[in-house]
Structure 1
Amino acid sequence: MNWLKRLILLLCMVTALAVVNGCGDNEGPGEKLGKQFDQAVDHAKDKMDELGDQAKDTYDDMKDKAKDAMDN
């Protein structure tokens, strides 16, 4: 039974070492490409939000002008 506990402890230590070793800061080409893609998507989202805001503002202006024209 003592050997089983040692085996389990050894397996836990090897697993912990593998996990810690796999969490390095080294960025491969896939990671860099992923970051560039994320930045491009964020940039596109920001531009779409700006366009949406401009469209809403234009619609509100046109609605106000049409209301003013109807009141006169």
Structure 2
Amino acid sequence: MNARNALIALMMALGLTVAGCADEQGPAEEAGEQIDQSMEEAGDTMEEATDEIGGQAEEAGDEVEEETDY
């Protein structure tokens, strides 16, 4: 009886493995990928904005430094 239970468990695990490897994505997976892509794009936009602001702040600091040098 134990061998039979082990065989059943193995067949169930194999079936779940094959089902998990399906090429088609479900709606939840597609939604998750869209969210990931949106978050990545938002992060890139924020990075570009902070780089630009940082550059402007550095330029302003350089100008202040030049004006205050004796």
Class of the TM-score when normalised by the shorter of the 2 chains: 0.7 to 0.9
Distance 2:5 2:29 in 1: 36
- 1:19-46: CA deviations, max 9, x gaps? 2222212112222121111111111100
Distance 2:37 2:16 in 1: 31
Bigger CA drift: 57-66 or 33-42? 33-42
Distance 2:23 2:53 in 1: 43
Question: What is the aligned-residue identity percentage?
Answer: 30
Distance 2:32 2:47 in 1: 22
Q: For residue 6 of structure 2, what is the amino acid of its counterpart?
A: I
- Which runs of 5 or more residues in structure 1 are unaligned? none
TM-score, structure 1 as length reference:
0.82
TM-score, structure 2 as length reference:
0.84
Distance 2:28 2:4 in 1: 39
Partner residue of 2:12? 14
- Which runs of 5 or more residues in structure 2 are unaligned? none
Number of residues paired by the alignment?
70
Moved over 4 A (4+): none
